[in-house]
Amino acid sequence: MLDITDSKNYVEGESICFLNFDLAFGGTEKVIVSLANHFHSLGKKVTILTLSNKNDFEGFLNSEICVTCLNVRKMKFLIPKLSHYILKNRFDNFFANVWPLTSLSFVVRAFSQNTNLIFIEHCNLSEQFKNKSNFFKYMQKISIRILYKFAHLIVAVSEGVKKDLMDKGVSEDRIKVIYNPVITEPYQELHAANLAAEQWKASSKNKLIAVGRFKAQKNFTNLVEAIYIAKNKLNLDLSLLILGDGEERRKISERIIKLNLQENIFLAGWVSDPLPYYDLSDLFVLSSDYEGFGVVIVEAMSRGLNIVSTNCKSGPSEILKNGELGFLCEVNNSESLSKTIMNALNHPIPKERLIRRSYDFSEEKIGKLYEDIVR
């Protein structure tokens, strides 16, 4: 990874830059890597610009794609560093991902007026920041209403995200819904993982899988509670593997021990490619309180895996066609989640229908939609 001081003075030709916090394992980051690889395959000069040097995608990102780190630890330093970078590096297209990076990227237009500036909003901001103060919400809404006008186009990753942006004052004619591209073929074969994954693989129980960062949004606590109910009240024989890591992992581990679920729930940590694990599973479960889209749902569908998901405001219900191609349950309701798991195991949807739906989000199909909005 390059530091900003190592950057070339000018990016010539058809060039594209993606701005994000980092390249840590996550849905937004997967999308950026997918789009970067796609545009590189078309002969574009692609740069990924990050605030920190965290990068979990080195083996998946084309080695010719430039990854540059601004080394920004506090948001107040972003505008001067980004301004300096844009003055030295002019791009034909600049994609800013995730608020507040989107709002703060107005400086791209200020210093490079010919750049096609596009904001990609990956999340339902009202849900993400619903516990913030009213003053915070007001200031966020003002920043979006004013600074989003600097973008030539705002991409919303779902209809739910589009509606949320409109509620915050963004004009509908400036928003284009483009679903996220999803990688549907494994990068690598399943390799020996840690003990937790091996124990899960060896289990004769119904195998469930969940994937995501251990943070409050994903609400793995609710999933643990649902497994407890399924085991002790519904008499289901389940084995759940959770792939991911994060600040709430210790909390989840302690809850598993307290409920005596050590033989039912296994935490395997982060893996670079979850797709091979889907092939060993009977059911995928998403327990999030909110999503913008839900990349992991499509990944699982592409392997023919049935889906149980909370019916959060953006993403999952659109992917699953309001329950026609998956099983939806109430948000943050372990009773509802456990019963929905039982229903999905007893009445699975034919895998051919799920795989067919995943084609709607292929890298090739979504990539062409992005080709239409770049210069």
Between 164 and 3, the higher pLDDT residue: 164
Residue 192 has pLDDT above 80, yes or no: no
CATH 3.40.50.2000 assigned to 2-178: yes
Q: How far is it, in rounded angstroms, from Cα 282 to Cα 209? A: 8
In the prediction, which pLDDT does 193 show?
54
In the prediction, which pLDDT does 135 show?
95
Q: Which CATH superfamily is domain 195-360 in?
A: Glycogen Phosphorylase B; (3.40.50.2000)
What confidence tens digit (pLDDT) does each residue in 223-241 have? 999 999 999 999 999 999 9
Whether 2-178 and 195-360 share one fold: the answer is yes
Confidence of residue 189 (pLDDT cuts 50, 70, 90): low
Lookup: tokens for 200: 């899960």
Identify residue 163 by its one-letter amino acid code. Answer: K
- The answer to whether the CB of 58 falls within 8 A of the CB of 33 is no
3-state helix, strand, coil in the chain (%, to 5): 40, 20, 40
Residue 34, phi-psi category: left (phi > 0), alpha (psi -120 to 50), beta (remainder): alpha
In the prediction, which pLDDT does 270 show?
87
User: Helix 220-232 crosses helix 334-346 at what angle (to 10 degrees)?
Assistant: 60
What confidence tens digit (pLDDT) does each residue in 24-54 have? 988 899 999 999 999 999 999 999 999 999 9
Q: How far is it, in rounded angstroms, from Cα 33 to Cα 180? A: 11
User: Helix 220-232 crosses helix 249-258 at what angle (to 10 degrees)?
Assistant: 20
What confidence tens digit (pLDDT) does each residue in 100-112 have? 999 999 999 999 9
Q: How far is it, in rounded angstroms, from Cα 276 to Cα 304? A: 12
Phi, psi of 120, rounded to the nearest 5 degrees: -115, 115
- The answer to whether the CB of 300 falls within 8 A of the CB of 274 is no
Closest to 3 in 3D by CA, of 77, 56, 81 = 81
Residue 91 has pLDDT above 50, yes or no: yes
Closest to 170 in 3D by CA, of 133, 139, 142 = 142
β-pairing, 175-177 vs 206-211, is unpaired
Domain boundaries, the chain: 2-178, 195-360
With 0.85 as the threshold, say if the pTM is over it.
Answer: yes
